[in-house]
Chain A
Amino acid sequence: MEAIRNALDFSDFPKTDLGVALAVLVFLFCFPFFPHSAFAMATMIQFFIFSLYGMGWNTIGGYGGQVDLGKAQYVGIGAYTTMVCLLRWDIPFWVSMPIGAGLSICWSFIIGYPLFKLKGHYFAIATIATSLVLKDLFEVWKFVGAARGLGILPYKYHPPDFWRLIFKEDVYYYYIIFAFFIVGLLYMNWFRKSRLGYQLRSIKDNEEVARSLGVNVHWAKIKTYAIATAFVSVVGSFHAVYVKNIEPEDTMSLDISILIALMAMLGGAGSLWGPVIGAGVLIPLKSYLKEWLGAAAGLLGIDLIIYGIIIMIISAFEPRGLWGIIEKIRRRRRI
Chain B
Amino acid sequence: MKSFSKSAKRLGLVLIAVLALPSVLFAAEEIKIGVLFPLTGGAASAGRELRAGAELAADIANNVMPDLNMTMAKNAGIKSLGGAKITLIFKDHEGNPTLGADLAKKLILDDKVHGLMGAYHSAVTKAVSGVAEQYGVPLINDSSTSPDLTRQGYKWFWRATPHDNYFTKDLFEFLKGMTEGKVKGLAAVPKKDITNLAAACEKTEWGSAVAELIEKFAKEYGFELKKSILYGAKATDLSGEVRSLTAVKPDAMLFASYGSDSILMMKTLKDQKAQTRVLWGQNAGFEVPEFVNTLGDTTIGVLTRTVFIPKVGQVKPVAAKVNAMYKAKTGNDLSGASARAFTGLQAWVHVLEKAGSLKPEDIQKAANAIEIAGEELVVPWQGIKFATTGEDIGQNILGSGLIGQYQKRADGKIDLEIVYPFNLATANMIYPFPKF
Contacts and interface: CB of A to CB of B under 8 A. Distances in A.
A150 to B, nearest CB: 10
B203 A152 contact: no
Contact of B205 (A148, A243, A294, A295): A148
B351 to A, nearest CB: 22
B203 A37 contact: no
B15 to A, nearest CB: 21
Contact-size category for B: 35 or more
Contacts of B130: 151-154, 244-245
B110 A39 contact: yes
Nearest to B89: A296
B133 A154 contact: yes
Contacts of B105: 38-39, 42, 170
Contacts of A243: 97-98, 101, 127
A309 to B, nearest CB: 17
Given A153-B152, A153-B153, A300-B39, A42 B106 contact: yes
Contacts of B232: 249
Nearest to B51: A295
Nearest to B211: A147
B101 A245 contact: yes
Q: Which among A152, A153, A249, A304 has the highest number of chain B CB atoms within 10 Å?
A: A249
Contacts of A146: 208
B96 A250 contact: yes
Nearest to B204: A249
B141 to A, nearest CB: 15
Contacts of B127: 151, 243-245
Contacts, number: 93
A42 B102 CA distance: 7
Interface in B1-60: 39-40, 44
A247 interface: yes
Contacts of B101: 243-245
B126 A300 contact: no
A308 interface: no
Interface in B72-108: 89-92, 96-98, 101-102, 105-106, 108
B253 interface: no
A295 B102 contact: no
A207 interface: no
A250 B130 CA distance: 16
Contact of A38 (B39, B109, B207): B109
B350 to A, nearest CB: 26
A277 B393 CA distance: 47
Nearest to A295: B92
A318 interface: no
B209 interface: yes
A168 B97 contact: no
Contact of A250 (B89, B98, B154): B98
Nearest to A132: B232
B203 A139 contact: yes
B230 interface: yes
A301 interface: yes
Contacts of A170: 105
A155 B106 contact: no
Of A140, A148, A152, A250, the most chain B CB neighbours within 10 A belong to A148
Nearest to B152: A153
B367 interface: no
B430 interface: no
Contacts of A148: 123, 148, 204-205, 208-209
A100 B152 CA distance: 27
14 contacts: A38-B105, A38-B110, A149-B205, A151-B126, A152-B130, A154-B134, A155-B133, A155-B154, A168-B135, A244-B127, A245-B127, A249-B203, A249-B204, A301-B40
Given A139-B230, A294-B39, 20 more contacts: A39-B106, A39-B110, A42-B102, A42-B105, A147-B205, A147-B230, A148-B209, A153-B130, A153-B153, A155-B154, A243-B98, A244-B130, A245-B98, A245-B101, A245-B127, A247-B97, A295-B90, A296-B89, A300-B40, A304-B40
Interface of A: 37-39, 42, 139-140, 146-149, 151-155, 168, 170, 243-245, 247, 249-250, 290, 294-296, 300-301, 304
